[in-house]
Amino acid sequence: MSTIYILWLRQLKRYFRSRARIVGSLGQPLLFLLALGFGFGPIYAKAGGGNFIEFLAPGIIAMSILFTAVFTGIEIIWDKQFGFLKETLVAPISRVNIMLGRTLGGATVATLQGVIVAIISFFIGFRLEHPTSLLLALVVMFLIALIFTALGTAIASVLEDMQGFQLIMNFLVMPLFFLSGALFPLDNLPKAIITIARIDPLSYGIDALRGILIGQSHFGVMLDFMVLIGVLAILLAIGSYLFSQIEI
């Protein structure tokens, strides 16, 4: 447990030392909130959907978590190239504990990023249905962060260069985001898109956030939690195995 705690703390220190990283990672969520929220807000309201910013904000919060969590995998490749990972792996420590520590650290960083975006969204016009739901929303945000940090770690474990990681991540992350229902309701869509959304774990994370924060859920919050926990268990198992196979 001490190893997990040390690696978790190391990830947090990296995050808070890089102010440029914190500010830079807020650019895209802010752009989506402002441009889409106010740009499509009147159209969404005329269609009878209500306040579009309230619908959009949970999706953008999840987007911020998704990108931050997945790209923590770059740190593994960075450490591989500069020898820092070798120093950790040769220590008499379980590689599973190393992977869990890094995953928890990356997920905590991603959750903090999501919290910052959530706070900003309140100033833009987002309102909660029940303020007491914030704690449960934080649990969902952390589950999303754990899932995609584990995914980033699993992929980074089998790659050697950052360019390859970025290409694969862009190929995965953008479809995961755009087909998750983050920007549009999942009702009355073509069957192909609905089928993809149902196998996209991010769909359930966003749906759970919407259900908790604004009372709108497509799948049902209970099902959302079950899917998120199941996917997390699978990805942690895969990530732990692939990380344990890294050659030094």
Q: Are 152 and 169 in contact (CB under 8 A)?
A: yes
Statement: residue 24 has pLDDT above 90: no
Give the per-residue pLDDT at 18. Answer: 60
Give the per-residue pLDDT at 185. Answer: 85
pLDDT digits (tens, 9 = 90+) for 153-180: 888 877 777 777 777 777 888 888 888 8
Give the per-residue pLDDT at 22. Answer: 61
Terminal-to-terminal C-alpha distance of the chain: 24
Could you tell me the residue ranges of all domains in the chain? 2-244
pLDDT digits (tens, 9 = 90+) for 207-222: 999 999 888 888 889 9
Give the per-residue pLDDT at 247. Answer: 65
The separation between CA 171 and the C-alpha centre of its own chain, rounded to angstroms, equals 16
pLDDT digits (tens, 9 = 90+) for 101-150: 788 888 888 898 899 888 888 888 787 777 778 889 999 999 999 999 99
Give the per-residue pLDDT at 82. Answer: 63
Least confident of 6-10, 157-161, 241-245: 6-10
Question: Over the Cα atoms of the chain, what is R_g?
Answer: 18
| Better-predicted residue by pLDDT, 203 or 4 | 203
Give the per-residue pLDDT at 148. Answer: 92
Give the per-residue pLDDT at 16. Answer: 57
Give the per-residue pLDDT at 28. Answer: 80
Distance in angstroms (rounded) separating the CA atoms of residues 213 and 209? 6
pTM value is: 0.88
Percentage of residues of the chain with pLDDT beyond 90? 18
Statement: residue 20 has pLDDT above 60: no
Q: How far is CA 98 from CA 30, 72, 86, 89, in A?
A: 34, 14, 12, 8
* Mean predicted lDDT score pLDDT of the chain: 81
Give the per-residue pLDDT at 139. Answer: 93
